[in-house]
A = this chain, B = another copy of it.
Amino acid sequence: MEKKTLLTHCTDEPGLISKITNICYKHQLNIIHNNEFVDNTCGHFFMRTELEGIFNDETLLHDLDQALPAGTSRRLLSSSKKRVVIMVTKEAHCLGDILMKAFDGSLNIDIAAVVGNYDHLQNLTEKFDIPYHHVSHQDLSRQEHEQRILETIEQYNADYIVLAKYMRVLTPEFVESYRHKIINIHHSFLPAFIGAKPYQQAYDRGVKIIGATAHFVTNDLDEGPIIKQDVIPVDHNFSAEDMAKAGRDVEKNVLSRALNKVVNDHVFVYENKTVIL
């Protein structure tokens, strides 16, 4: 008995749940969890179905294609570990949390490699017997630097790239190479404090809550589909530096919770938003 997850989305019309579950039933696949959502604003249907049984992928997908409207997206995903490459700069907390969770099995991932534009986190990474690539940006144009990173990453055939406090903006070319596969943690409660130094911005504005946002990266800086957000209270006692320190736990928790949803195939991206089933 195998387990797989079926992700379906298409234009909404009556009878979709019935059609999909009928097909699963005919294939003698047991539905362990099923969640669906209709976005009534745009008339779009989303369904996530966790299945158990003996799969004939080809005929199952064929039957779905026959039954569902043209233009339907349906993916049948195995429950094996996703391959992830992590990109970092200097800060250890997000990387550290992911390393630890991969180590103790809390996150369903294999960390194929870590790539950093500094060597600060090489030692930490190698403690966990994971290859670290120091790809410095010094004396390189942005394009050259990214080209080197792309070449480094390529060999790992990653399902997802995680920017665990990677502090450089990616070019559209890079983003395009891994469309909807790059997950970033931004250290503010987006869309507040877009851009550089969000904790300093938060301090200057005198906010009483700070947060972090995990999102897919698109070409618009800090504007990609949001996966997860969380916040913590602050007050006048917090300097910008105190906020940054306090924010670390939120950042790492938000990033790893977002990652958990993504790698377990709970997340649809649609019209610059996420539907998480």
Contact = CB atoms under 8 A, between A and B. Distances in A.
| Residue of A35, A127, A206, A235 with most chain B CB atoms under a 10 A cut-off | A206
A159 interface: no
B92 A100 contact: yes
Contact of A206 (B36, B106, B274): B274
A117 interface: no
Chief secondary structure at chain A's binding surface: mixed
Interface string A1-34: 0000000000000110110011011001011111
- Give the size range of A's interface with the partner: 35 or more
A273 interface: yes
A25 B36 contact: no
B208 A228 contact: yes
Closest 8 CB pairs of A and B: A206-B273, A18-B21, A192-B192, A96-B100, A92-B104, A127-B127, A236-B275, A208-B229
7 contacts: A14-B28, A18-B22, A39-B236, A97-B100, A189-B192, A189-B209, A208-B228
